[in-house]
Chain A
Amino acid sequence: MLSRLFEGTVDRLSQGLAFARERQAVVARNIANAETPGYQAQDVVFDDLLASASSGGPGAPAAAAPSRQIPARDGLARSDGNDVHLDRQMARLAETQIYQQALVQILSSHFTALKQAISGRV
């Protein structure tokens, strides 16, 4: 009964949050290695297969983040083999941050709405 309250919106949103966390870490790694010779920039994409695979009943352990790492391929590599394009990475950083904030707001509203419905008070 209770898991029906949460499956769907809540679980999907928290998967999105896990994905945002992974993506931010990879962008941070790209930025940290912006000057490392031979470094290949990576990106993280949402993995729908992994996402639907996580069952997560009430007692289930935390599932792995539903994400997959792929090469970023922002552009040509420089002479030392490094292909990090800092402006693209900064854009991704901002994107990820905004995405995560949006998810937190939506999830927060959702929890509030559930609590209001339960207590009968608005």
Chain B
Amino acid sequence: MDLFRALDISASGLSAQRKRMEVIGENLANSETTRTAAGGPYRRKTVLLQAAEGPGFAAALGNGAAREGGVQVAGVVESADAPRRVHRPDHPQAGPDGFVSLPNVNPMTEMVDMLATTRAYEANATAFQAAKSMGIKLLELLR
């Protein structure tokens, strides 16, 4: 139903921001993880976002205004940035020079991202509610 299009779009936004929040949480939890299964310190992860095509893209009723969909998570990537080298000679993972490689996670950056993500999530929730009440309002004509 055409009314569901807007709901699906906003739902995709909510999902994407949820995923982002998860990844931010993971980054913060692992900000001091010096050894991972793959070897080496934890690397900061980010979510790749991409505008999505709508379901009925090819066979659309409208004149193109909202054939497209919402947003999709294209993937989660690890940062290629070099890890932080910190001088901590008594750290179990410290090298012979006394330096240890710590994750390239900056808690300040993660907090800023968390604020943006929260704001985006709330905006999507508002849009979802708006679409829902517009749909209900339209059906009042049949009452």
Contact = CB atoms under 8 A, between A and B. Distances in A.
Whether A and B touch directly in their complex, counting CB atoms under 8 A apart, is answered as: yes
Given A35-B49, A35-B117, A101-B137, A25 B9 contact: yes
A69 B64 contact: yes
A66 to B, nearest CB: 8
Q: Which of A21, A23, A104, A107 has the most CB of B within 10 A?
A: A21
Contacts, number: 121
B24 interface: no
Interface residues of A, number: 41
Interface residues of B, number: 41
Interface SS of chain A: helix
Interface in A25-52: 25-29, 31-37, 39, 44, 47, 50
A37 B17 CA distance: 14
Interface in B40-81: 49-51, 61-66, 68-71
Interface in B91-142: 116-117, 119-120, 123-124, 126-128, 130-131, 133-134, 137-138, 140-141
Interface SS of chain B: helix
A17 B137 CA distance: 11
Contacts of A100: 134, 137-138
A46 B11 CA distance: 26
